[in-house]
Structure 1
Amino acid sequence: MNNKLLTSYLFLIITSFFLGCSATGENKNNTSSSSISLHVGDEKYFTIDTKESVVAWTGSGVHGKHDGYAYISKGELMIENGQLMGGTVEIDMTKTEGPGHATNNNLINHLKGPDFFDVEKFPFSTIVITKSAAINGENKTVTGKLMIKGITEPVTFPARIEIRDGIVKASARLIIDRTKWGIRYNSGKFYDNLADRAISDSIGFQINIVAKK
């Protein structure tokens, strides 16, 4: 093989190598990056104030319950004629905290791992609000879609929504069956003879949101 052909051959190998590395990196970043964009400047949308909003969670087992926090990374609520019409809430699962806002203990590390939320692969969960219906006054029934670990399931939950002076305050209580989102660790539905290692399939979320123009 002459020098010219050898040089061309090596160039093709090196180019293919770097293009392959670039594509792999892009796919990885897409998996771990935020998946929603906001309607900035649209009068119908109120942007969630992430410093004033929080999601509290509660889980339980035979020996008692555990609770903690997860934080909203971004989101918005769509309000038309004084009514909640839609919205998106994105939760950063990598910032899950336990009692006392602990961020690095056996419980929190386990929740972040593959047995539960697998935050390395799925760092964000999202709630997409599709509609709300009035119950009485500021009390609503909200319908939407909840994505956890890349799995999306429909949800319906009660919420209280107050709109005053360009500020939306919303509080909601959402209880889910974790196994619908592929979280089966020590679930009595899938494992026998768990005894005192059994963990409830129900996880409760108290969602408090403040959204502003």
Structure 2
Amino acid sequence: MKSLQIILIILCLQLGVQKTYAQNFKLDSQKSTLFWTGKAAFSSYSLKGTVAPKKGTLYITDKAIATLNIIIDMKSLDHENSDLKNHLKNEDFFEVKKYPEATFFLDNITNIEEGKAILRGKLTIKEKTNTEDIPVKIEQTKSRIILKFNHTIDRTKYGVNHNSPSIFKRMKENAIADEFILEGTLVFVK
């Protein structure tokens, strides 16, 4: 009987310890970074700029990400060339006055294996939503979680069609690749 009580006590302690690893974290937007890279469709010319994560939440255990929600401030879309920056913000591209935010919401609990995971979730840009599978590297301490990723997105799935060679078949000289890269370091704190 005593050994049964000891086993029950040990199980309860283990469950209690496991619960302490499940915690909520909030995005530290000041320490987080998002970079975008766009390219010409038929040459090696590319441009890089930034966009700012606005807010987000993460619920994580030692073995899984249970929830992840990110809001991106599309009005923060930036590039050193002010004409390009303004063009990216207008109707040809992201229409930031009409669509000031983009969002990503995790669909399901995602297992963490050897500090890596694939986040399957809904990305919404310009009110168009698609499922994206985003591989991430995870650095985890008790007080901070860092997600790092480098993900390719097809802009035409989100209604960003300006100078797209797949939409405008005859375009060559000024064609812009349909895909752009979003690279990020998202820092979450307690």
For the 8 Å contact 1:176–1:204, the answer to whether it is kept is: yes
Alignment of 1:1-213 (within 5 A): 44-61=23-40, 62=42, 64-98=45-79, 102=80, 105-131=82-108, 132-134=110-112, 136-213=113-190
Alpha carbons 2:122, 2:130 under 8 Å: kept: yes
C-alpha RMSD of the superposition:
1.5
Q: Which runs of 4+ in 1 moved over 4 A?
A: none
Deviation at 1:81, TM superposition (A): 4.0
Report the residue type matching 1:70 in the other structure.
V
Deviation at 1:206, TM superposition (A): 0.6
Q: Unaligned 5+ residue runs, structure 2? A: 1-21
> Which one has the bigger helix percentage?
1
Q: CA deviation at 1:163?
A: 1.2
Higher RCO, Cα 8 Å, sep 6+: 2
SS at match of 2:156: helix
Deviations along 1:168-194, one digit per CA (max 9) or x if unpaired, are: 011012211110001111111111321
Give me the whole-angstrom Cα distance separating, in 1, the residues matched to 2:64 and 2:189.
Answer: 15
Q: Which has the larger radius of gyration?
A: 1
For residue 34 of structure 1, what is the aligned residue in structure 2?
A: none
Which SS does the other structure have where 1:109 is aligned?
helix
Is contact 1:56-1:206 (8 Å) kept?
Answer: yes
Task: Structure 1: give runs of 5+ residues left out of the alignment.
Answer: 1-42
